[in-house]
Copies of this chain bind each other. A is one copy, B any other.
Amino acid sequence: MKFSALAQHLGPVEATSLAQPPQQDPEITGVMAVDSATAGTLSYIEGDKFAAQIEQTAASALILPTDETLQGRARARGIAWVSCRDPRLAFARAIAQFYRPFRPQPGIHPTAVIDASVTYGKNLSVGAHAVIQAGVTLGDDVCIHPNVVIYPGASIGDHTVLHASCVIHERSQIGRDCVIHCGAVIGSEGFGFVATAQGWEKMEQSGRTVLEDGVEVGCNAAIDRPAVGETRIGRNTKIDNLVQVGHGCQVGEAVAMAAQVGLGGSSRIGHRVLLGGQAGVANQSRVGDGAIATAQTGVNGHVDPGQVVSGTPAVPHKIYLKVSAIYSRLPEMYRLFRRLQRHSS
């Protein structure tokens, strides 16, 4: 595809509106990372870390930020380019021009076991050995990969994809345009036990898990259901691999949780919150809209809207950076402290 034609597909959302049309028009046959790009491919540069790559890349075309220095360097090397506010977003759209993700054809594999009471819309695809139990409702264009198990009474919205070997528990409600990745478990029993003199006594988990529209759940993640009420994940929220969402959590919209994040039971996560990898949020904690907890942070209590926190226990990120900067001086401080202590006694 000609670069000029490809560039038409990179907008028109404001963030990617092209500040500059392409000055040259090479044939583009694919997309690659800037440090491994070959002739005929398109790549992108974003952030200072990758700016130096503009001198080495073999890419024939680049998506650049609105940065005249970079644009000049591309021009000097004879690389065609467009510029926009969010090169990564434009690059995502360029990928979509070259790559069609694997999607099984509609149809029900003869080895799938589907209860007679299951209802479903048009274009249903069910892979080999999937098991869909009584009373399940499936929308239009639902795609169920092999070996998926759906327990009774769950509902799955239009265009949702369930990847291989994921499990949807009874009563779960999954919205439209969701993607559940391999091995993820939705609506499993919350960890509900009560201590007695005889040991742990089980509290039955009679609630359900609800995923609103456009939610993605990563491989081998688990989203438990509560004893009563709902665990709820807001629309457009993206959950990475191996994440744990405890029973009764309420997660807002457009949240992103990186891999191995853990949410304790009944925690409340606002809209557009970012949780870095391996971060944990304790039972009953609250994280306000737009807050960020960096990787491995341990939140126990409240995080104000918009706040950035780090460390365990979580403190404002600025304080965390200051303390981190002096961390290795602590032994020296301790020696002085000991000397002063001796003098003062």
Contacts and interface: CB of A to CB of B under 8 A. Distances in A.
A16 to B, nearest CB: 9
Interface residues of A, number: 121
A86 interface: yes
A228 B59 CA distance: 13
Interface in A296-331: 296, 298, 300, 311-313, 315-316, 319, 322-331
Contacts of A15: 196-197
A336 interface: yes
B218 A220 contact: no
Contacts of A284: 49
Given A31-B206, A241-B222, A323 B315 contact: no
Nearest to A324: B313
Interface in A177-218: 181-183, 185, 188-189, 191-194, 196-206, 214, 216, 218
Contacts of A32: 228-229
Given A129-B129, A264-B295, A151 B326 contact: no
B280 A227 contact: no
A183 B183 contact: yes
Contacts of A33: 226, 228-229, 248
What is the oligomeric copy number? 3
A330 B340 contact: no
A127 B189 CA distance: 19
A5 interface: no
20 contacts: A13-B198, A33-B229, A92-B194, A92-B203, A95-B228, A99-B206, A109-B113, A127-B131, A128-B129, A145-B149, A169-B182, A193-B256, A220-B220, A220-B242, A280-B295, A295-B300, A296-B296, A313-B327, A319-B327, A336-B340
